[in-house]
Amino acid sequence: MSNDLDRFIDLAGIASLLGVAAVTPQQWRQRKQLPKPDNTDFPDKPLWRASTIIAWARETRRWPPGTAARPLMQGRKRAPRSAA
């Protein structure tokens, strides 16, 4: 398990890890909401350790996976279905 936490992941890996849409980590990065990358050897492709992202996700209530979008859905009522 510790090896999994030490592995580097890119933005697509963050999306997969957290169960969000592929564009969501890109938006977080543009808004400067993601933590500083752990590896910037290739400036166009920053990398984070999985453990860094998990710690950040816990702090920002985006962990466990799939919870990042839940606050948007809570309290939303569905429109009544029309009789067809």
Residue 78 resides in a domain:
no
Q: What percent of the chain is modeled with pLDDT above 90?
A: 65
Strand (E) positions, the chain?
Answer: 8-9, 48-49
Task: Say which CATH number the domain at 33 has.
Answer: 1.10.1660
pLDDT tops 60 at residue 7: yes
Residue 76 resides in a domain:
no
Q: Buried b / exposed e across 2-30, counting CB within 10 Å, b at 16+?
A: eeeeeeebbbebbbebbebeeebbeebee
Q: Which residue has the tokens 């400067």?
A: 32
Q: How many domains is the chain built from? A: 1
Handedness of CA 24, 60, 39, 36 (dihedral sign): positive
Q: Which residue has the tokens 């997969």?
A: 16
Residue 24 resides in a domain:
yes
Tell me the per-residue pLDDT of 45-68, one tens digit each, with 9 for 90 and over. Answer: 999 999 999 999 999 998 888 776
* The overall pTM is greater than 0.85: no
Q: Residue 47's domain spans which residues?
A: 2-68
Residue 22 resides in a domain:
yes
Residue 77 resides in a domain:
no
**Residues 19-29: what's their mean pLDDT?**
96
